[in-house]
Amino acid sequence: MAERSRTNPDRAVVTRRLGARPRAMSADAHEDVIARVVDDAVALGSFVILESVVSTTRRALSTDDADALLLRFAQSVSRYARPPTSRFHVGAAARGTSGNVYLGVNVEISAVPLNHSIHAEQFALVTANANDECKLEAIATTDAPCGHCRQFMNELRDAPGLRCVTRKWRSPLAELLPHAFGPMDLLDDGETLLLEKSSVDASGMNPQFATLAYVHGEKSPPSDDLMPLTRLLERHGDDWNALAPLALEAMRKAYAPYSSSRAGIAIKASCGGTFVGWSLECAAYNPSMSPLQVVFARMVAHGKDLSSIEQCLLLECPGAHVKYDCTVRLTLEKIAPKAAVIVANIGHENIA
């Protein structure tokens, strides 16, 4: 996707920075090592600590406790949280089976309902998803995961065994969410779950069959005539056609097993860069993430101001049970009131 080129840090540079260190270090020196590793991941716009850097850090700190190190990453990254309402900073760090660590922070959005907030655990899972991690084995958080996040993490394969680490305890998710309601209560065995690779049937997302649902600033309703997406967007400028393949790729990445309502979003920011987001559903529905929440997480990972959004292209399925159109437009009116928004329906049928 548009951000991918920034997600792989220079391993040699990071390793040299951690390189030769004295065998015995003070607590402050330990914290300095952790802080610099996290700061590097943030500065690169990835929020990812590669396995090679994690291993080098463990050697530098002379520790074999991988979960304790994970917690220290979570504590350090909490400095980057954006909680204007609660002023309560939360950090999360999730370790994949690849050995990479995916960071997350809580993000609160001023002037919109609280349910638009992004929880640190959700942010970390988005980071893992954006970087094609297939499975998580542990997640550390600066405070106990709330029920909302426990339910969202339950979308993972083998979620009951996911190790949850805090300052006070280490427990599998099954102990934090006993007698859980989850994906297999609604889906058939063998269904693809969150983070897993899926073979998406793109027949229902054919950009040759598109209609405009909303165009910012136009008084007359868009036409229902089917035509290629590029033709629909061309009269609005080349910038919109540049966003189209990004939004379509994001739509294909969506996780929507409960409603089959895949959605993808691509935005252009005045402060530089294009970013994408996709819908992520949850069996309990309310902990689901909209494509706009996902794109907000990706922008925060790159250190961008959400108010810098100047263009937003949202692609949805015609006849979908779940639509994000109104929510996206109302939220952007508060966050980036000058942003131009176009919503298009892609395909001639709902996606199975």
Together in a domain, 162 and 136: yes
* Residue showing tokens 């548009």: 2
Is 194 inside any structural domain? no
For residue 285, the domain's CATH number is 3.40.140.10
Together in a domain, 15 and 107: yes
**Active-site annotation holder among 3, 31, 108, 121:** 121
pTM for the whole structure = 0.90
Cα(171)–Cα(203) distance, integer angstroms: 43
Together in a domain, 45 and 143: yes
Question: In this structure, what are the phi and psi dihedrals at residue 328, rounded to the nearest 5 degrees?
Answer: -60, -45
Q: How many structural domains comprise the chain?
A: 2
Together in a domain, 211 and 180: no
Is 289 inside any structural domain? yes
What pLDDT, on the 0 to 100 scale, is given for residue 127? 98
Together in a domain, 219 and 335: yes
What pLDDT, on the 0 to 100 scale, is given for residue 200? 62
What pLDDT, on the 0 to 100 scale, is given for residue 12? 45
Together in a domain, 221 and 91: no
Together in a domain, 127 and 245: no
- Domain stop point among 158, 185, 212: 185
Annotation marks residue 191 as catalytic: no
Q: Got the DSSP string for 88-152?
A: ---EEEEEETTS-EEEEE-B--TTS-GGG-B-HHHHHHHHHHHTT---EEEEEESSPPPHHHHHH
The mean pLDDT values, 10 residues at a time, for the chain of 352 residues are: 47 47 70 97 96 97 97 98 98 98 97 96 98 97 98 97 98 98 94 85 68 81 79 87 95 95 96 95 98 98 96 94 95 96 77 35
Range of the domain at 85: 4-185
Together in a domain, 125 and 74: yes
Together in a domain, 174 and 213: no
Is 111 inside any structural domain? yes
Together in a domain, 104 and 180: yes
